[in-house]
Amino acid sequence: MSLTAFRIVVALSGLFVIVLGLNVALGGMATAGWLGERPFFTVTDEEQYGLLDSHIRFFGGFFAAAGFFLLIAASNPLHYAQGLYLVFATIFAGGIARFSLFDAGIFTNPDVFWALAAELVLMQVLAFWLSRLRR
């Protein structure tokens, strides 16, 4: 369990999270379209849309900030271990929250499946890996 390999995985994860977060932070509910999203809804209430879009952009910025932290923490993961555990747990909790959708069919979509795998499996693997590196 190499420290160098861990740093690379955390840095790549951070870059990916930054792109995902900025895609939403800069594009709102419709996203900036960086991942090939297509139009999927029609706005029927501009005021309500503006309110929810603002909240979604906030969460996108929050997610992007977590990605920037992962990128910074990759430089010295042992020093940033507590923060890394917090980010791993937060992303894991986000994966668990997906199940509140109560639509098992959505999880067969490859985009959702692989995101869920990263959230529920990769985050636990990274937390375990970090715990081994700290010994």
CA distance 84 to 102: 30
Percent of the chain with pLDDT over 70: 100
3-state secondary structure of 84: helix
Kindly report the pTM of this predicted structure.
0.89
Per the structure, the count of domains in the chain is 1
**Contact criterion met (CB below 8 Å) for 17 and 70:** yes
**Residue 35, pLDDT score:** 84
Percent of the chain with pLDDT over 90: 77
Domain residue limits at 54: 3-133
33: alpha, beta or left? (left if phi > 0; alpha if psi -120 to 50): left
Q: What is the pLDDT of residues 28-69, one digit of tens each?
A: 988 888 888 778 888 999 999 999 999 999 999 999 999 999
